[in-house]
Structure 1
Amino acid sequence: MYYTYIVFSEKLDKFYVGATEDLHRRMEEHNTGRSPYTKTGSPWQLVWSREFKIRSEALAEERRIKGKKSRKYIEWLIDSAGKAI
């Protein structure tokens, strides 16, 4: 399975949108500084994810969310899934 996900750093007050095949491993990378873009924001909290059978679908969803360029859209997406930040 593949995942599109959103993590949140309270320290930076920022969201990060990504896609991965192994969500557990990817969260570990974000929170141990092995991901250059997110290393300063640890700890990162998983606030939203969606599962896909095909990698290209997960990547397309990641691009779609990033294409919105909107924090309000990301917050709406999280809220609509029933998860609060």
Structure 2
Amino acid sequence: MWYVYVIRSLAFPEQEYVGATADIRQRLKDHNAGRSVHTPKFMPWMLVWYCAFPDKHRALAFETYLKSHSGRAFSRKRLLGPG
């Protein structure tokens, strides 16, 4: 299985990050250890949403969508709710 996830900074709650991985627990540990190029300055992170996909290609396609303008709006309205 592959996972698409949204994490939110505990120190800066307005900061969110969307990613995809085959190992969601390890990936969250990596974000919180500063081993991701885009997330270390907003540590620590908490997982706020994730979804499992049967294969990598579908997960990466949905990750790409969630990172788009319309995908961010969809995420705020349908997945994460008011913040």
| Cα deviation 1:21-75 (Å, max 9, x = unaligned) | 0000000000011112101111111001000010000000000111126654332
- Given candidates 61, 76, 80, the residue that maps to 1:78 is 80
Q: Offset of 1:11 from its aligned partner?
A: 1.9
Alignment of 1:35-50 (within 5 A): 35-50=36-51
Counterpart of 1:9, as a letter, is S
**5+ long unaligned stretches in structure 1:** none
State the secondary structure of the residue aligned to 2:80.
helix
State the secondary structure of the residue aligned to 1:58.
helix
TM-score after normalising by structure 2: 0.85
Q: Distance in 1 between matches of 2:61 and 2:31?
A: 21
Deviates more, 1:28-37 or 1:67-76: 67-76
